[in-house]
Structure formats: structure tokens, C-alpha cells
Amino acid sequence: MLSDETSPDARSSHLSGAAAVGPAGATTSRPRRPRPEGAPARRPRPAGSPSGGSGGPRRRPPTGRRPGRPAPRRRRIPHGVGVAIVAVLLAAVSSVAGITVAQRSGENNTTLTQSVVGPGGTDSESSANNAIFNGTGSSVAGAAPAAAPGPGPGPGGKVTPLPNVAPLGTRVDPDVFLIAKNSVTAAQVAAVKRATKATSLLQVDAARVKLGKGTTTAVGVDPSTFRNYAPDNTAQVDQLWQRIATGDIAVAHSVASALDVKLGDPTDIGRVVQKQARIGAFATTRLAGVGVVADKSRSADLGLIPGAALVLKLPANADPVAASAAAEQAVPGSSADALRFVQSTAVAGGPTVSGGIPIEGRGWTMPLRTGTYVLSQRFGVKNGRDGANGHPGIDLAAPLETPIYAASEGSVLYWGPASGFGNWIVLQHANGVQTVYGHMKYQDLLIPPDAKVKAGQNIARVGSEGASTGPHLHFEVHLDNQRVDPIAFLNAQGVTEIR
């Protein structure tokens, strides 16, 4: 199997069977072994022997060609064409070679599957990514060094204790997340409560920020209260909220994967001016578009807008989609997302947006149009390049600039450069689901960094940026921080175009 670290020339040679080409088009060959000292000189070739021949009688030319005339040059298939043909054949092989070796039940009626397939790898993953997606709800860094923000060795070598954070109280699963461009006033908060009949509401600081070279939404919170609105496996981790209280930030797993960072690493973050912050934890909030959680004491430093976001819990029988629309009316210019669906707002049938593709399942669709792609790599393939967990998504080989579509309705969680993937877009969907689209050119990201998208909406174009052997879409599905088989997930949603 080819490695993505192979040079383009060498990789083409392996695929096409041709020799590697050196400078000025000369074919490279093995250097001649030097003759040992004292060895007899090589016998001269007999007269008439062709160069490089064995010294035997000269072979007669074919009938119709006069002796002495050079043989006609054979027409050779250009390197690039040969590589393309073999790549398509490899993609076709890998698309039918999948064998399920293990499976278990997952959330959202999904079967989590690992598959073994034949040749046709198309991208690779760093060891840092495998550490980020470690199968736990959250990961927490140790104490910061003395020179860095947060607790660390103090005078006399003593370690400063972590700050106190209130224990987990009555945890709730929020139903609506609203974010505005300005602070939400007390009158607007009251209007939202009346319009949505919210049983619980939490107001936090928020803004779209630049994180590294990408963008996401950050919230500034009181860890003691906000943890009660976090997913269960995140809410229970005391040290996570203590690390946030020290001034560290918690970064969503998919965002950390794009940045290719480790726990304890510094990163630049800010709305207007970027400031350095230490990554104290990896954690997923399920809030639409939110990739960073910080203590509210850092809000001003990071440029977060005071009280610009609301987290709502609704009555058990309420419809979050209708409530989010009502909340937007109560706060003009805001954007509200339903964090769970009573029933999907998109049904199988025609496109939900102009220029989009039809919905194939219960609010979901393939990210590429039927007939424009070949499945070139499955989920979980252990090819020696993607770490112990195997390939983290699926690869869909397609021509450059083939339109990419949102697999379902959602909000942008991360947008911009991603280590090993050129650029990617992460969409946050309801019920803790995220989808990832990678290897695009920066100019082929067709939606803004703070976009809300419809199922089947054109969001980008296929590229071959980063660790890639040819143009394709790398597509992942995450349930909170766990990567799952995108094909199994889409099949469970009624999308059965590939299995």
C-alpha cells in the first residue's frame, strides 16, 4: 500500500510501473559497480555488437525497415494518465473489498463498525489525533509549568492547588442554543422565556473567534453552573472544570483534531486580537458551533461579548425547532439552533435549498451527488498510516471542484485549516452529531465561518490539499467525541446509497 509521505514522482512510479525520472527527463538507473583493483579489463564488444548487447550476432531488423534506420519510438502513456487510470482501478477494488470484523451498538440507532479493505489509501492521520479521540468523554491536562498560566509549582517547589468548583448539581440536556451579535438584554431574556416556555435558562458570554488559523465560537462561563448544561460524560469530570477555572480553555475534540494540538499546548485565540491560551482539556459541549469553553474571567481578554448567548431547557413535550424560531423573534438579529429534534425538519424528497441535492433519508443525505464519486477508503482500515484506530472516516474519490453538500442541517463548528487535511469544515448537528469534510482548498470553502446550513446545501468543493494521494472528500461522523462509521451511521438514517 502506498504511503502518503511518498514523493509524487516515486508514488507515480510505484503506481504506473515506470522508472523514476531524474533531472532533464533522464531515467535514473543503478550506479555501475567499480571494478576491483587488479581485475582484468572488460573484453571489447565484437564489431557490430549493439550497445549494451551480449556480443552475439546482430539481430536482423524487422521486414520493411532498412538496416541502420533507428527503430520508431514507441508511444507511451503519459505518466499522469497512467497514475489516474491505476488510481481509479485501486478505488474500485477498495470499494468492494470491505469486510466487517467487529461491531457493537451505538447511539442514534447506529452500528459502530470497523472494516478491512484492499489497497487504495488516500490520506493519513497524526498520532496527536489518535490521542484526542481516546474513547473518553473528556481529556484533561496536568498542572501547567510555573511560567504558564494556571496552577503550578510555587515558592519552595509547592504546587498551587486547583481552584474550587461547585460539584455537579442537577444536570439538564439543553434543547436550544441562541447567540446574538450584541448582549441579550434582560427584557429580551424575559421575552425568550415567555415565547419558549423554557424551564431553565443560562446566559453566557460568547463570540465567533479566531483559533489558530481557523474559526469557531467560544463561550465564557462560570464552570460551577455551566457544567450542569454539559453532556453527562463531560459534566462529571471535576478536573476539567477546575482547569477552565484556572484560565485554561477546553477545546472540542474535532477542533483540536484540526489544530493537531496536544493537551497543555499553547494556542492563539481571540475575536479582535488573538491572545495566548493553554489547552487544558478536550471536551464536547453539543452546543451549536461552540468549539471553545473558557472561564468568564477571560471573556474580555478574548473579546467575548457579555451575555450574548442563551442556553435553554424546554418542557419535555416541547418542540425545539419551533422554540428556536420563537427565540429568534424575541431577540432580533440572533441565531438559534435546536439541539435535538422531535422529528426531522427535512424529509426524503426534493432539495431543501436552491442548488442543493435531494434528501435521501430522515433528514440526511450523501455529501456528494450520486454518480460523481467512488468509495476509495472505508472506515477503520488499518493501513499503517492512520494509527492504531485505523482510518477515521471514509474517502470519496471525485474530480477536483466536485460540489460537496452538507449531510444534514447544522451549524459550523470549525472552519479553516486542518493539519493533514488542507482545510476542513466541521458541522454541528442535533443530538450531539458532528460531520467533518476535509482536503478542500481555502478558496473552495463556500460558506462563511458562522453559517447555518440546510441538509443538502452546497458548502464546498472537492480538493486534494494536505496528506492526499489525489482529489477526494474525506468525510467523518462523530457522536460527541467518538468517531463512528459514516456508512453505518447514514444507513441508520435511511441513506442507503452505499453500504
Residue by residue, DSSP assigns 172-201 as ----EEEE-SSPPPHHHHHHHHHHHT-SEE
* CATH number of residue 465's parent domain: 2.70.70.10
Q: Report if residue 33 sits inside a domain.
A: no
Domain interval for residue 277: 138-150+165-338
On whether both 315 and 263 belong to a single domain, the answer is yes
On whether both 174 and 323 belong to a single domain, the answer is yes
Q: Report if residue 131 sits inside a domain.
A: no
On whether both 310 and 379 belong to a single domain, the answer is no
Dihedral sign of CA atoms 303, 306, 308, 311 in order: positive
Contact of 286 with 298, CB cutoff 8 Å? no
On whether both 360 and 323 belong to a single domain, the answer is no
Q: What is the pLDDT of residue 184?
A: 98
- Last residue within a domain, chosen from 338, 373, 406: 338
Q: Please state whether beta strands 422-428 and 433-440 pair in parallel, antiparallel, or not at all (unpaired).
A: antiparallel
Q: Report if residue 16 sits inside a domain.
A: no
On whether both 183 and 101 belong to a single domain, the answer is no
Does the pLDDT value for residue 301 go beyond 50? yes
| Global pTM value | 0.68
Contact of 499 with 488, CB cutoff 8 Å? no
Does the pLDDT value for residue 93 go beyond 60? no
Q: How many domains does the chain have?
A: 2
Element (H, E) at 251: strand 249-251
On whether both 299 and 251 belong to a single domain, the answer is yes
Does the pLDDT value for residue 150 go beyond 50? no
Nine cell digits for residue 449: 465561518
On whether both 356 and 228 belong to a single domain, the answer is no
On whether both 324 and 287 belong to a single domain, the answer is yes
Longest dimension (CA), the chain: 104
Q: What is the pLDDT of residues 409-453, one digit of tens each?
A: 999 999 998 888 889 999 999 888 999 999 999 999 999 998 999
On whether both 102 and 212 belong to a single domain, the answer is no
Q: Report if residue 357 sits inside a domain.
A: yes
Length of the chain: 499
Q: Report if residue 155 sits inside a domain.
A: no
Q: Report if residue 77 sits inside a domain.
A: no
In sequence order, the 6+-apart residues with CB closer than 8 A to the CB of 58 are 48, 49, 50
Query: Mean pLDDT, to the nearest integer, of 76-99?
Result: 38
Q: Phi and psi dihedrals of 132, rounded to 5? A: -65, -50
Does the pLDDT value for residue 86 go beyond 80? no
On whether both 392 and 365 belong to a single domain, the answer is yes
Q: What is the pLDDT of residue 41?
A: 55
Closest to 490 measured CA to CA, from 391, 362, 351, 402 = 362
Least confident range of 53-67, 140-154, 350-364, 405-419: 53-67
Tell me the CA distances in angstroms from 410 to 165, 287, 341, 422, one per residue in order: 32, 11, 12, 22
CA distance 50 to 289: 72
On whether both 313 and 412 belong to a single domain, the answer is no
Does the pLDDT value for residue 33 go beyond 60? no
Taking the CA of residue 195 as centre, how many other CA atoms within 13 Å lie in the half-sphere pointing to its CB? 20
Query: 488: helix, coil or strand?
Result: helix
Query: 19: helix, coil or strand?
Result: coil
Quickly state the pLDDT bin for 323 (edges 50, 70, 90): very high
On whether both 445 and 485 belong to a single domain, the answer is yes
Q: How many CB atoms lie within 10 A of CB 389?
A: 16
